[in-house]
Structure 1
């Protein structure tokens, strides 16, 4: 989404034609969900995807035709089993897509605000009019995480659901509500091989990655080029200085038992949305017992995911990273599922 909006803003700034295609509603099994977007360019190029296959190709054709006549249109697609099988998909659902062609800078301020909201990572909701016969079809309103209007149609007589309730995309009275939850900050404690591999994958799936280590040669930009912050200092003291909330995940993958225990003693009581620690079940049990002896509550330790990662039979560092990031995605998207040693 970030790349799509950046390219759209650049096209609008250069007064170049483009067609913005966005999924506004889905039912059943579909290759993409509401909010997914694709930008179609006059030469047939595209940025982003609606999932590929027959639907994406059909939307692209409609977008290219729409470029000749700026404005918006809405299209529904039923992915029957024949289409799904032909495209290698197991879908059978329904997708509704709004296609809007732009030329000039008329919506530039709106999409600049949307780009800033995406980059800010604090969460937002888009409201898009989807009623086919309405002259307002495609009209957009952008709300911040608290429900205040940031850009677009300020006359919309409705407001979004609070992001604290983790709302899902929905269509009500001809308006699609497309929430984007605040970006999760992932604090990786330990800049070794596993931390490095996790950071690379987590960045790709839109975590805001911070890396903490007591060795500056490890917590370095050449090893973590996409990290939002690199923190060097005593592990416990530095971790204690980081404020945490439900949108903060803490992953402990240090180089040794003692550092893991120190980090977990600080992290477990924090109000983070997720705390996970790597290690064998025996090591984790010993660390938990030691921390209980130091006054860390059972309630705090019960929230810790350990051993971290989904059980996929991981053996190599890349496989371990995949298992960990998969668990992080599941926690972000599906909520808490407590694991105990």
Structure 2
């Protein structure tokens, strides 16, 4: 998030009642020619931007704005928000940058650069994940700027940050098993997804539990328990949605 180098107003949701696009604590910075962050978009955000710029132009320090989210602003949420607008300090700017970065990103290790791996990488790349995409085959890494060649991908599991998510989609069932074992031995994964069928899951569960590992967090098949579609792009879309749900749970989610 770039820090503004001109006067900025901090707009913060201090109260949110009923159905609202963002929760109390959500904030954004408004300058004369741009914004950083969001309080939910739409007419609510437009009104807040206009009020914040008026505050800056008048040289005021603080204002308060209560906005009902009803037909009068073209919305049907049914709730209301109370906003506090104030001239932003450097501390406000740095705090917002830190909060946004911490609350909205999840470390994701993606193992495998086959058809599904490539589709998943494309699907999650614009989303709020810190993606580390790994394959041990040098030829699989050509033509993809994002993929990292790792001769021993198990070292990537060892070096991963606590609370990371893992997707295991390699070319080898044996390597898949080793990666799942390494992740489960760490015991701190936010998510462990394994590509494969229910039969593959049953075999892996049997082998992993024989090693004394708890497999209840192993997700296989990945993406959806009800939608059966083997097209890589569809699998990728379903997996991305699954990961967003994991991240939302991990970070507390957006409250209505």
Q: TM-score normalized by structure 2?
A: 0.80
SS of alignment partner, residue 260 of structure 1: helix
Offset at residue 66 of structure 1 (A) = 0.9
Residues 317-336 of structure 1: CA deviation (Å, up to 9, x unaligned): 2221121121112122225x
CA contact (8 A) 1:309 1:323 kept: yes
Deviations 1:244-268 (A, max 9, x none): 53x2111111123332222222222
Q: Does 1:22 align with 2:44?
A: no
Work out whether residues 120 and 240 of structure 2, in 8 Å CA contact, stay in contact via their aligned partners in 1: yes
Name the residue aligned to 2:233: 318
Structure 2 matches for 1:52-91, cutoff 5 A? 52-68=41-57, 69-80=59-70, 82-83=71-72, 86-87=74-75, 90-91=76-77
Please tell me whether the aligned partners of residues 10 and 92 of structure 2 are also in contact (alpha carbons under 8 angstroms): no
Aligned equivalent of 2:215: 301
Question: Do 1:184 and 1:208's aligned partners in 2 also have CA atoms closer than 8 Å?
Answer: yes
- Per the alignment, residue 329 of structure 1 pairs with 244
Mark the CA change 1:67 to 1:314 in structure 2 (over 3 Å): closer, same or farther. farther
The count of residues paired between Structure 1 and Structure 2 equals: 247
Deviation, structure 1 residue 41: 3.3
Cα offsets for 1:120-152 (capped at 9, x unmatched): x5x4xxxxxxxxxxxxxxxxxxxxxxxxxxxxx
Is 1:233 matched up with 2:151? yes
Aligned CA distance change for structure 1 residues 215 and 334 (closer, same or farther; 3 Å): same
Query: Residues 42, 114 of structure 1: CA spacing in aligned structure 2 closer, same or farther, 3 A cutoff?
Result: closer
- Equivalent position of 1:223 in the other structure: 144
d(CA) in 1 for partners of 2:212, 2:38: 47
Match of residue 132 from structure 2: 210
- Equivalent residue for 1:148? none
Does structure 1 conserve the Cα–Cα contact (< 8 Å) formed by 2:29 and 2:93? no
Cα deviation digits, residues 193-217 of structure 1 (max 9, x gap): 3323333443433221122221234
Cα deviation for residue 277 of structure 1 reads 0.8
| Unaligned runs of at least 5 residues, structure 2 | 251-256
SS for the counterpart of 2:165 is strand
Deviation at 1:232, TM superposition (A): 0.7
Distance 2:84 2:125 in 1: 29
- Report the CA distance between 1:243 and its aligned residue: 4.7
- Which string of whole-angstrom CA distances, capped at 9 and with x for unpartnered residues, describes residues 155-177 of structure 1? xxxxxxxxxxxxxxxxxxxxxxx
Task: State yes or no: 1:257 paired with 2:160.
Answer: no
Q: Which has the higher relative contact order, 1 or 2, with Cα contacts under 8 A spaced 6 or more apart?
A: 2
Q: TM-score, normalized by length of structure 1?
A: 0.62
Q: Which runs of 5+ in 1 are unaligned?
A: 124-179, 336-341
Please report the RMSD computed on the Cα atoms of aligned residues, expressed in angstroms: 2.9
Matched, 1:41 2:31: yes
CA–CA separation in structure 1 for the residues paired with 2:20 and 2:84? 16
